[in-house]
Structure 1
Amino acid sequence: PNLGNSISWSRVGGIITDVDALRSGMGKEGFKWDEIITETYELAEECFKINYYGPKRMCEAFIPLLQLSDSPRIVNVSSSMGKLTNVLNEWARGILSDAEKLTEERIEEVINQLLNDFKQGTVKTKNWAKFMSAYVVSKAALNGYTRIIAKKH
């Protein structure tokens, strides 16, 4: 969308939202999120940098220090949007829900496939999520990564 000088657009969580349309449509039956939310490859990439790669790099940096502690703890902040039930793409949900076989490489595979689908314009047809696909998958990926490092350490 052309954001121009309008303050009625908000950019958050890997999406651009038409705030005026959001205000006028909330609570109405048949509200269509996809009509007020715009997701692009660039926004999805930014969303993953913030919600997945940022916490992952922080954990990697602090784990050696935490291993020196008698009571090390890592707390990653996620979201209910990161529940696996919100990942509608069966292939991705299958990978992220397989706790025994889940690896950082498998998470990367899911992220890269979603980003590729953004590039190809196939996110909706591949049914990643009802809306906010990058945000949903970034939080599900963070949850998976948190399980991996909890098992490893």
Structure 2
Amino acid sequence: MGVGGTLEYISELMSIGHKQKKRKQLQTVDLKVRMDCDGCELKVKKALSSLTGVKSVEINRKQQKVSVTGYVEANKVLKKAKSTGKKAEIWPYVPYNLVAQPYAAQAYDKKAPPGYVRKVENPTNNTSTVMTRYDQDPYITMFSDDNPNACSIM
């Protein structure tokens, strides 16, 4: 056993009696919280600022968005926001350019702020199964019998 092994052995012996705490990562939690007036905004800000580990709380009432930065867990922040009596959920939107098909029925949301769509993993599309065979060459679909919008040669 070398010097490195001895030091590891001693450190393990010392840490057995102590309970090690898991450190939280600094993160930003975005929530969608229904707020109508200055009083609602103040109530939410005061409640979220009282959480331990919170460094800052930013509110955009126009987008109904609350951003909490600090050493916090998302579910605890959400629970605290709901305790104010306001309707709250984890921010469900992403910028529309990050979604493959932003105007698919699952992604498009009329209530979303400008430039945002709902976060969806894989929107299903009826035409995707027909088009997968012809993904490599777009000229094949242009004159295909399988494509109802194809050109016809007369």
TM-score class normalised by the smaller sequence: under 0.3
Q: Point out which structure has higher relative CO (alpha carbons under 8 A, 6+ apart).
A: 1
Q: Which has more radius of gyration?
A: 2
Higher percent of residues as helix: 1
